[in-house]
Amino acid sequence: MIGFDNTWLRSLPGSFLRLDPDVAPDPKLVVWNGDLAAELALSPEVQRHAARWFSGAEVPPGAEPVALAYAGHQFGGFSAQLGDGRAHLLGEVLGPDGRRWDIQLKGSGRTPFSRGGDGKAALGPMLREFLISESMAAMGVATTRALAVVITGETVWRDGGALPGAVVARVAASHIRVGSFQFFAARGEDDKLRALMDYTIARHYPQLSPGDGLGLFDAVTRAQAKLIAQWMGLGFVHGVMNTDNMALSGETIDYGPCAFMDAYAPGTVFSSIDRQGRYAYGNQPLILGWNLARLAECLLPFFDADEARAVTLANERLGAIAEIYRDEFLAVMAAKLGLGAPDAALTDDLLLLLPGEDWTQFFRALSEGRAVAPALQDWQQRWRALGPDLAAMQQVNPVVIPRNHLVEAALEAATLGDMAPFTALLAELRRPFAPAAGREAFALPAPEGFGSYVTFCGT
């Protein structure tokens, strides 16, 4: 059995609505994450029941399904009530190390938070979440992960077309978001806000004392700065960095219109709805600060009992975010460049020279001692003079990332019933740093004619 616990329900009344997922009429397991199941020490019985338990067809023993409530700034505009419009939190499981993990179904039906949506999901976006999150995990990035994808036997309609419906079972350190805090703050429910703060501290930052809002803010700032620096180092564009998509655990959450850059361009946008480039690749560090400012607004009463002092402390923290992020990013770049210490001038000069070069292939070429483009050769000589550790570079600079053309090809084939391209791509993404020999097709950028890439939220 799974052995669910439900501390969220006991600790945070008013933050959820109890309801069961929609019943899937004909569920079939499409993908099972055996590696993740082993890490969670789930019994083989769980896989045998996965099609029904992780589709909504049957509530697993011990689970108490709920839809979580939260608020959020979406593309800068505030909504006081968003919530899980197509997701159901089943409960929490304890891993062998005692860590607590949420298991949530996504695409599992309408809730009171659906805002006119059907609460369903198509197979392609659910498989995308599986692929991208497994790739991120393999590259050492803190992330939610997919335990299973199940087709429901229903048809969903998107853009006038019929697609197979599916549910993904997502595993997360928790689903506590900045928007979770905004939900109670917007309602002036300070007691519930304090309870959420203390729950977050106990679950994610137990080194802190209950009530330590300033300590919590500092810990989240460090975790998120590290995370965004990792994204930037890999050329990853999240695509929808709304406050309800920033997890206080420091994990990457909600793989909707995300993608990886091929050619380096700070203005890269993939999301079909990000018409102003708010969440462009190069803007992600700025949005980090903006989202943390919204969190600070929620936590302000817990920074200090004196309001003026609390505001001063908040402004000091917010003013330091850019430097904290900069230190994390330079550390990421030092590792990518095989240097024992960050070199800000070398990094900044590289980024001025790099536009148009394939981000992933450039760093891998450096790590293998190959020559780079003529315009970068003077820079390469400066770098070589520092004695970089090429072997160490090959452990952090991937050969294989989820190239957009390969992801799309895999998802299109899977939608038509052919899982072979998906399975092959997943296998390569799970060993990102292995040499390219024998798998060059997974390492190359999109062929000419692929065109600009557009992603969607998958709703």
What are the two backbone dihedrals, phi and then psi, of residue 268, each rounded to the nearest 5 degrees?
-60, 125
pLDDT in tens, 297-352: 999 999 999 999 999 999 999 999 999 999 999 999 999 999 999 999 999 999 99
User: Does residue 388 lie within any of the structural domains?
Assistant: no
Q: What length does the chain have?
A: 459
| Residue 348, helix vs strand vs coil | helix
Q: Which two tokens stand for residue 86?
A: 């197509």
What pLDDT was estimated at residue 278? 95
Residue at 399 is within a domain? no
Residue 44, in any domain of the structure: yes
The pLDDT of residue 93 is 97
Instruction: Name the pairing type of β-strands 28-32 and 66-68.
Output: unpaired
Residues 6 or more apart whose Cβ sits within 8 Å of residue 253: 143, 144, 172, 175, 177, 245, 246, 247
- pLDDT score of 458 more than 60: no
**395, HSE (Cβ side, Cα atoms, 13 Å):** 7
Q: For residue 208, name the pLDDT band (cuts at 50, 70, 90).
A: very high
pTM: 0.96
**pLDDT attached to residue 156:** 95
Q: Cα(331)–Cα(344) distance, rounded to whole angstroms?
A: 10
Please report which confidence band the pLDDT of residue 275 belongs to, taking 50, 70 and 90 as the band edges. confident
Establish if 139 belongs to a structural domain.
yes
Write out the catalytic residue numbers. Answer: 244
Rg (CA), the chain: 22
pLDDT of residue 171 exceeding 50, the answer is yes
Residue 217: inside a domain: no
* DSSP-assigned beta bridge partners for residue 170: 104, 146
Q: Which residues pair with 75 in a beta bridge?
A: none
| Pairwise pLDDT comparison (277 vs 169), residue with the higher score | 169
Which of 73, 100, 70 shows the shortest CA–CA distance to 87?
A: 70
Kindly tell me if the per-residue pLDDT of 459 is higher than 60.
no
Q: Whole-angstrom Cα distance, residue 173 to residue 200?
A: 11
pLDDT in tens, 112-166: 999 888 999 999 999 999 999 999 999 999 999 999 999 999 999 988 799 999 9
pLDDT for residue 455: 76
Residue 457: the pLDDT is 67
Across 197-206, average pLDDT: 98
Q: How far apart are CA 1 and CA 309, in angstroms?
A: 51
Token pair for 289: 């600060």
Average pLDDT of span 73-79:
94
As a whole number of Å, the end-to-end CA separation of the chain is 31
Q: For residue 95, how many other CB atoms are within 10 A of its CB?
A: 13
Site of tokens 């536009």: 355
> Which range marks the domain in which residue 70 is found?
7-172
Cα separation, 435 vs 437, whole angstroms: 6
- Would 99 be classed as within a structural domain? yes
> What pLDDT score does 211 carry?
97
Does 121 fall in a domain? yes
Closest CA to 183 of 318, 12, 308, 307: 12
Which DSSP string do the residues of 274-293 spell out, in sequence order? Answer: -TT-TT-GGGHHHHHHHHHH
SS3 66: strand
Total domains in the chain come to: 1
Q: Is residue 212 part of a domain?
A: no
